[in-house]
């Protein structure tokens, strides 16, 4: 079976097996329900109505990102030890409880507990979900479908938000706590999907393994192995750092700054759900169609270009009126939709053979959330001082500087691109020249990660979860 490397991977793929199709569909259901947070369009106003100040609201956000970083360390190791599927189940349970916390106590303490529990739930699934899907499809020899499955799962989740978020305002008039109760019900539905996921070959399901099982030394060995992988693969580290711009800008804008930006331009709270729905449509369409991007540029270049597009739209929001801002927010969302699946594939492809994938994906999340924690503190300070426009300009400039350093490192040759990862010179040539593609042999799953002659054949055992 011939394979492509690039944003359009999967265009020439054969049909998935029945088991692979089941994995894909259950992943769709899990991602849709787990991430369906009904309270997202109104949480800022909801907390303001509960008596919290801007400093308290964004202080909680900063604590959330720090907690996410801390939780990512053990949860990535746990996923590689007990199995990604069990981590998905645990994350769904925690997320269900987290969404009920504000219902029990709509206070600073209640919201703090709420976000701390969300950090725990999301950290349990952040690396495990991608690792399970990647390894599940690879085990079925259907890894050509990974990029499309990752993007479509995100698109479906976003489409569900388009339908649900405009209803939040009306539902709150019936029951004020409805957004949080419905979020808890959705998380419970994601648990049902996680329970139905098939077991993967070699998955521990909590069993003690020959190399140490659940002993503390085994966890430390996995942590050390992950750190050594990053240290030994500058390309992997560089790809992770490049993703910081995409994640931080999208998270801060679409979660923390979305409502303040609209309020600053005179767009009332009653319209926030509709605007967020329009943004979600744009992001969903882009997430489902990363193959629309030209193959003339490698994936790593597209992530940089899309990051610059995010920065540019943020800066432009300081210049336009209400309708211009809404249009720019939709463009921002579309760029985010294109960037996420491509960046996720870049990192997955850069993971060395036999490395603990879920742990390494958790390392990426730690870097992303650490930067977000600092950004959330800055957001609170800027907004308290009434300097929203300055915040948007400074965020754009910081992104340009980060990407400038990235490109200098890339072009100077200080960091060589891994031969095993997508976006390598060989892979980029393969993307541009179909004649360069090589069909994998019977032992394609066993080849060495550095063997460029079988670059597209897939790799063995890169996730243990």
Domain CATH code at residue 177: 1.20.1250.20
Q: What single-letter DSSP state applies at residue 346?
A: H
Question: Is 112 a member of any domain?
Answer: yes
Could you tell me the residue range of the domain that residue 160 belongs to?
18-203+215-435+447-452
Say if residues 57 and 48 touch (Cβ distance below 8 Å): yes
Question: Is 457 a member of any domain?
Answer: no
pLDDT of 7 reads 44
Count other Cβ atoms within 10 Å, centred on residue 457. 20
d(CA 267, CA 387): 18
Number of domains in the chain: 1
Question: Is 3 a member of any domain?
Answer: no
Dihedral, CA atoms, 304, 229, 199, 120, nearest 10 degrees?
-70
Residue range 347-405, pLDDT digits in tens: 878 777 677 666 677 677 777 777 877 787 788 788 878 888 888 898 889 888 888 88
Residue range 330-362, pLDDT digits in tens: 999 898 888 888 888 888 787 776 776 666 776
72 to each of 66, 69, 238, 369, how far by Cα in Å? 10, 5, 20, 10
d(CA 38, CA 48): 17
pLDDT of 209 reads 42
Question: Is 187 a member of any domain?
Answer: yes
d(CA 268, CA 215): 54
d(CA 59, CA 48): 13
Token representation of residue 206: 């909590």
Dihedral, CA atoms, 397, 402, 408, 413, nearest 10 degrees?
-170
Residue range 175-214, pLDDT digits in tens: 888 999 999 999 999 999 999 988 876 555 444 344 444 4
Report the length, in residues, of the chain.
465
Question: Is 461 a member of any domain?
Answer: no
pLDDT band at 80 (very low <50, low <70, confident <90, very high): low
φ/ψ (deg, to 5) at 210? -65, -25
d(CA 448, CA 353): 7
Question: Is 10 a member of any domain?
Answer: no
Token representation of residue 11: 């265009």
**CB-neighbour burial class of residue 122 (10 A; exposed 0-12, middle 13-18, buried 19+):** buried
Q: 53 by DSSP, 3-state: which?
A: coil
Question: Is 8 a member of any domain?
Answer: no
Say if residues 72 and 362 touch (Cβ distance below 8 Å): yes
Dihedral, CA atoms, 345, 350, 356, 362, nearest 10 degrees?
-60
d(CA 449, CA 451): 6
Question: Is 462 a member of any domain?
Answer: no
d(CA 234, CA 222): 19
């Amino acid at each position: 079976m011939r394979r492509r490397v690039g944003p359009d991977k999967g265009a020439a793929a054969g049909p998935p097996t029945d088991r692979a199709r089941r994995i894909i569909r259950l992943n769709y259901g899990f991602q849709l329900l787990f991430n369906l947070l009904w309270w997202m369009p109104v949480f800022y106003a909801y907390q303001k109505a509960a008596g919290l100040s801007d400093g308290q609201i964004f202080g909680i956000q900063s604590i959330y990102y720090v907690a996410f970083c801390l939780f990512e360390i053990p949860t990535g190791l746990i996923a590689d030890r007990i199995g990604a599927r069990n981590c998905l189940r645990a994350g769904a349970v925690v997320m269900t409880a987290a969404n009920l916390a504000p219902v029990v106590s709509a206070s600073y303490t209640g919201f703090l507990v709420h976000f701390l529990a969300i950090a725990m739930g999301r950290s349990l699934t952040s690396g495990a979900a991608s690792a399970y899907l990647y390894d599940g499809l690879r085990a079925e020899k259907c890894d050509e479908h990974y990029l499309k499955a990752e993007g479509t799962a995100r698109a479906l989740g976003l489409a569900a938000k388009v339908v649900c978020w405009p209803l939040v305002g009306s539902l709150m008039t019936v029951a004020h706590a409805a957004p949080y109760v419905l979020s808890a019900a959705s998380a419970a539905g994601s648990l049902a999907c996680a329970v139905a996921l098939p077991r993967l070959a070699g998955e521990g399901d909590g069993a003690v393994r020959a190399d140490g099982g659940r002993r503390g030394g085994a966890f430390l060995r996995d942590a050390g192995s992950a750190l050594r992988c990053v240290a030994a693969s500058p390309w992997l580290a560089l790809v992770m750092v490049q993703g910081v711009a995409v994640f931080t800008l999208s998270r801060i804008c679409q979660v923390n700054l979305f409502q303040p930006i609209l309020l600053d331009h005179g767009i009332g709270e009653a319209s926030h759900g509709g605007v967020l729905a329009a943004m979600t449509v744009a992001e969903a369409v882009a997430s489902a169609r990363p193959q629309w991007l030209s193959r003339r540029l490698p994936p790593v270049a597209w992530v940089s270009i899309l990051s610059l597009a995010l920065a540019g739209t943020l800066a432009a929001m300081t210049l336009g009126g209400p309708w211009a801002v809404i249009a720019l927010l939709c463009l921002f969302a579309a760029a985010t939709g294109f960037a996420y699946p491509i960046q996720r594939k870049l990192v997955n492809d850069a993971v060395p053979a036999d490395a603990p994938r879920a742990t390494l994906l958790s390392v990426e999340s730690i870097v992303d959330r650490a930067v977000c924690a600092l950004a959330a503190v800055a957001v609170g300070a800027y907004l308290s001082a009434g300097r929203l426009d300055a915040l948007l300009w400074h965020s754009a400039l910081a992104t340009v500087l980060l990407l400038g350093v990235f490109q200098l490192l890339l072009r100077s040759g200080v960091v060589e691109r891994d031969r095993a990862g997508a976006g390598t010179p060989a892979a980029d040539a393969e993307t541009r020249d179909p004649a360069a593609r090589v069909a994998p042999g019977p032992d394609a799953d066993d080849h060495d990660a550095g063997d460029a002659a079988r670059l597209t054949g897939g790799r063995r055992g890169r996730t243990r979860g």
